Structure 1
Amino acid sequence: MKLLQFYHLQDEARKLQVGLLKGDSTVVALSTAGTVRDVIRESDIYSLQEGASYRLDEVKLLSPLTDPEKIICIGLNYHDHVIESNMQVPKVPVLFPKYNNCLTGHDDEVVIPAEVSQCDYEVELAVVIGKTAKRVPLESAMDYVFGYTVLNDVSARDIQLNEPQWTRGKAIDGFAPMGPWIVTADEIENPGNLSISLKLNGETMQNSNTKELIFNIPYLVSFLSNTITLQPGDIISTGTPPGVGMGRKPQVWLKPGDVVEATIEGIGTLRNTFVADQF
């Protein structure tokens, strides 16, 4: 099941609706007045009735989650990315937060603030938590996963790496494009073996597989839940593979007009255009 949030392009009020993607090009509205987070939290997704159907080009896709309680990101979680970042392989997961202000959807524009001159891309597999998780044993950790989506962990390297913590360079408005939808866990046979890639203006910049993760999904869910209670709709973004702009020679920084396409096998492609700050 591919679960999404959208509004109908002819709806002047732009009312948020929850829907399903059927096939490749049909969006079916579901009978709920809430958000995807509400649907996950209430565990009633399979009891919702289907409503109006739209062509995909008749709707605007929003971030499939717009109101998570937590967005927990994992840094330095692919071996080759650690090497290109000139850092040590971590002994425990490296954590940093993003917030709801960072979330934006498929085909949305991402504004590069005037202060930022080193804007970078990072394709990541994002895990969506399905039920309250506290002190979860490793062997049952996957029971708490609702599904998966694509997240681009956009980063302002000139801020991130020149301050004593990463938050201000990571949690900029719009710097967590996510989508285009959530694929439920039952449709992903092995999230630990998915191809993951990113294209910049049509050129492949990142190309790897989630089997290269240093800390895998069960470990992350268990590790985090030991001290942080995970709630339905929370997001764990599992880190990016090598090929980021910072690690290239010469380095590659995103500029206005650039189009980034982040793709994960079994989920889909998240596309965003980067634009200049107008203020």
Structure 2
Amino acid sequence: MKIRVATYNIHKGVSSIGSKPRVLALKKAIGQFEADVVFLQEVQGQHDKFSTKFGEESTGHRHWPKSAQHEFFAGDSHHSAYGMNAVYDHGHHGNALLSSFPIGDTRNHDVSDHAYEQRGILHCVLKTDKGPVHCYVVHLGLFESGRGRQAEALIDCVNASAPNGEPVIIAGDFNDWRNTLSAKLRDKLGVVEVFDELGTGSTLGGLVRNLVGAKRKVTPARTFPAALPWFRLDRIYVRGFKVDTAEVLHGTLWAKLSDHAPIVATLKLS
């Protein structure tokens, strides 16, 4: 069974400069993933100010959906789940999952490290023809010490909820620009990042490393800022899957929609 997955930090549905509404364009762009499962971060469950400012009543055209963003993106083609993390007077935002498979058990784990950054891990169990697949939507904090503690919470969460080697997909914005967490996640969860297995023997460097038995340096893809990606912030980790393809989507479209570029991967259940 093949599953096409994507992860995308949508910057709350507004442009990173000028806070212009991008929700309608984001729905079309997410459709271009042609993904079975989409992991989303910074999703607005409610924003009364933007709804009033960009709604049909004030502009003559509706540039902001009446429904929550995850429900709007899901439409009639996907199921959706939402984990509320940050709450304020005029609304809230968090992580979301869109899935063409039915979503079974859902739980949002609060992993906030301090009062100024509300973070969570949204755990959803997908009901597929081949059995359950555990999905974890992640958005870790901006400070390295806090990310370390949040990674430990993620490890505990996965080990408690998928303890017997069940298929796992962990995706989102890790803010791990120095790549200090990957080795720990590999060791304690048996996962690989989708770019780990790609390119090992298809380049001259890969052939040389294979011949001499040297290990390839494993690095995630660059996804931030979207206009000229340099930092390696977004990841997709998997267990129980073979990675067929993985790519970061670049170009003018993606640079306009969010400050992060999306990652799309095709997985095959082992």
TM-score, normalising length from structure 2? 0.26
- Highest relative contact order (Cα 8 Å, sep 6+), 1 or 2? 1
Structure with the largest fraction of helix: 2
